Amino acid sequence: MKNGNQQLNKILNDNKSGSSQVLLNLKKYILRNLYDKEFIEEILLKAASKLNHFASVRNFLRELKSELKKSELPQLKSFLEESILSQEREIEFLFQRNKKYLIKFNSITTLSYSKTLLEVLKLWFEENPKLKIFVLESRPMLEGRLFVKELIKIGFNCELIADAAMNYAVSYSDAVVVGADQILNNGNVVNKIGSYPLALCAKENKKPFIVIATKDKFIHSDKFIPKKKSESEIWNFRHRKLKLTNFYFEEIPKKFITKIFS
């Protein structure tokens, strides 16, 4: 059980993976540890406490809570297996619906680490292996570096750049393509910090700004309230005249978004 708790804590405190990857890891963890309903209820409480800022996780927890009330363990097992399979298949359907538009690009800029985008890019590579990808390193957690490693494994040619050099990347790209943490009811998109200025760079360079997201990222709200994260992730230096502010996510206005593919 100790090892199981460590695995759960790793999922709950993962601040580098995108929400889709976190959700998939959570589903698989619950499926592996389907001991009794009380244990699942404990996981639900912990996950809601730590991951409630992810729209896709909130939606899943709500569905699982409902299923928990009316089903026994065999039915819960089937529910989780179907949910995992559905999440994995959705990416392929998403790409097939939109590939005519996407595969015409020969170079793109992105940022952070999006599981959804990564899976789309695996399929994209089969259609256009010459696609070049500029990736912002994505401070403060530098998950862009992790994303580049995954892209290289697939076979892509990549260029990793500092966040502040994003305009350089966009100017040499055919499009900007990002994932999403949430898609608000008003059409605005919440994504990794740096996405808003990246959208502005796309507009200035007359390049399309494309969001790729699964349907569980849509929420029935127009509000996004950013949460501050640990100051030490920015800098350990302290001074009474210095304020450190660390946000992971920000809102991109609808007017700067060319297309949302879901």
Q: Which residues are marked as active site?
A: 181
Q: CA torsion angle for 137, 174, 158, 192 (degrees, to 10)?
A: 20
Residue 192 tokens read as 């990794």
Q: Find, among 128, 146, 123, the residue nearest to 136 by Cα.
A: 146
Q: In sequence order, what are the residues at sequence separation of 6 or more whose Cβ sits closer than 8 angstroms to the Cβ of residue 41?
A: 68
Distance CA 25, CA 83 (A): 12
Tokens of 18: 């995108």
Distance CA 3, CA 161 (A): 37
Q: Coil, strand, or helix at residue 9?
A: helix
Residue 213 CA to residue 182 CA, distance in Å, equals 9
* Tokens standing for residue 3: 């090892």
- How far apart are alpha carbons 108 and 191 in whole angstroms? 17
Quote the CA–CA distance of 43 and 24 in Å, as a whole number: 14
In whole angstroms, what is the distance from residue 90 CA to residue 77 CA?
20
CA-CA distance, 34 to 80, in Å (whole number)?
10
